[in-house]
Amino acid sequence: MKLSELSLLLERNGFSNQVEAKEDPDLVGVNTLGNAGRGELSFLTNPKYREQLWETRASAAIVELEEPAPDGLPVLRCDNPYGAVAAAIKLIHGTRIHPAWGRDPRAIVAESARIGEGANIGPYVYIDEEVVIGHHATLYPGCYIGRGAILGDHVTCYPNVVIYDGSRLGSRVTLHAGTVVGEDGLGYAKVNDRWEKIPQAGWAVIEDDVEMGANCCIDRATLGQTVVGAGTKFSDAVVIGHGTQVGKHGMFVAQTGLAGSVTVGENVTMGGQVGVAGHLSIGDNVVIGAKSGVWSDIPADERYFGSPAFKWKQFWKQVAAVQKLPELIRKLHRLEAEVAALRKERRGDD
């Protein structure tokens, strides 16, 4: 694909751009600035790697509109270079093609299950009674779909995904290997010094265009429903507790865990290993830094970090104060020594 052709395709996909180039190179792949070679497109989206733009061996690069670039390097300027790169990868490399099993004879499908047109059911998949699966769904080997579950159109479940009974998935949902939807939440009541299980009578709902990495777990609600909002993306090993409501278009990085009955707004981003205590509310457009521990509500449009989590600026003030502690301790020791000497001198005068 020529750089000029890529520019036109990106324009059609909603990424306005302009090309600055003395030549029109052929592009056969996309790679990072440090690893790109001849015939590959690269990109600069993080100023941390700006120096690499001047050293790259790529044949072209996607950059921001005002980003300086070395002479001789063809560049495609765009106001959203990261989004343009994502589109370019799809255009140049294509997307993953699923195996074409149709309905593999080794799959077990209950008589009352309804399977949509063009569904792709792999070997050793188990589909229970009263399940509804939409058109062009793909279920990889080892998937289990429990009684009464509903899966929308173009759903993809990679190997060993488990969908418990009554769970509901929208259209274009992708669940990677080992992810579980609708298992029982942590519901127990203390009775006579023993834990008695509270039946988890609710269900789990995954709305349209959600993608989850490997080994995520979404608890069903005790009553009502646990919801993951449309367009939300999870990395691996994300855990959502029972009755929690996650808004649309969130981004949760690996090993993030939300306890039960949490309410999360739209466009919320949580870094890796964030932990959120139960029954809290997190507003729209919140960003929470990695390894933060959230113990109280967070209003909309805020950035929080730390454990316990504080507002971003307040956290860094605390970090700065901690960095000064060694010198403050040394000063304290000097003052203590001076006070001791003065007391000794005063006793001598007496």
Residues 180 and 83 in one domain: no
- Residue 242 CB neighbour total at 10 angstroms: 26
pLDDT digits (tens, 9 = 90+) for 271-285: 999 999 999 999 999
Residues 195 and 236 in one domain: yes
Token pair, residue 239, equals: 């855990």
**Distance (Å, whole) CA 240 – CA 217:** 6
In tens digits, the chain (350 residues) has pLDDT values of 899 999 999 999 999 999 999 999 999 999 999 999 999 999 999 999 999 999 999 999 999 999 999 999 999 999 999 999 999 999 999 888 898 899 999 999 999 999 999 999 999 999 999 999 999 999 999 999 999 999 999 999 999 999 999 999 999 999 999 999 999 999 999 999 999 999 999 999 999 999 999 999 999 999 999 999 999 999 999 999 999 999 999 999 999 999 999 999 999 999 999 999 999 999 999 999 999 999 999 999 999 998 888 886 777 777 777 788 888 888 888 898 889 888 888 887 66
Residues 28 and 161 in one domain: no
Burial of 76 (0-12, 13-18, 19+ CB in 10 A): buried
Q: What are phi and psi of 275, to 5 degrees?
A: -120, 135
Sheet arrangement for strand 233-234? 120-121, 138-139, 156-157, 174-175, 211-212, 233-234, 251-252, 269-270, 287-288, 303-305, 310-311
Catalytic site positions: 242
77 part of a folded domain: yes
Q: Give the SS3 label for residue 23.
A: coil
Residues 343 and 219 in one domain: no
First to last CA, the chain: 95
Residues 27 and 150 in one domain: no
Residues 177 and 244 in one domain: yes
Residues 306 and 320 in one domain: no
Residues 212 and 335 in one domain: no
Q: What are phi and psi of 108, to 5 degrees?
A: -110, 115
234 part of a folded domain: yes
Residues 215 and 347 in one domain: no
Token pair, residue 182, equals: 């609708």
67 part of a folded domain: yes
Residues 78 and 124 in one domain: no
236 part of a folded domain: yes
99 part of a folded domain: no
Residues 124 and 152 in one domain: yes
pLDDT digits (tens, 9 = 90+) for 20-68: 999 999 999 999 999 999 999 999 999 999 999 999 999 999 999 999 9
Q: How many structural domains is the chain composed of? A: 3
Contact between 33 and 58 under an 8 Å Cβ cutoff? The reply is yes
Domain closes at, from 93, 122, 145: 93
Contact between 139 and 120 under an 8 Å Cβ cutoff? The reply is yes
Q: What residue ranges in 120-193 does DSSP mark as E strands?
A: 120-121, 126-127, 132-133, 138-139, 144-145, 150-151, 156-157, 162-163, 168-169, 174-175, 180-183, 188-191
Burial of 321 (0-12, 13-18, 19+ CB in 10 A): exposed
Query: What domain range includes position 181?
Result: 108-312
pTM: 0.84
Residues 305 and 327 in one domain: no
Domain closes at, from 43, 67, 93: 93
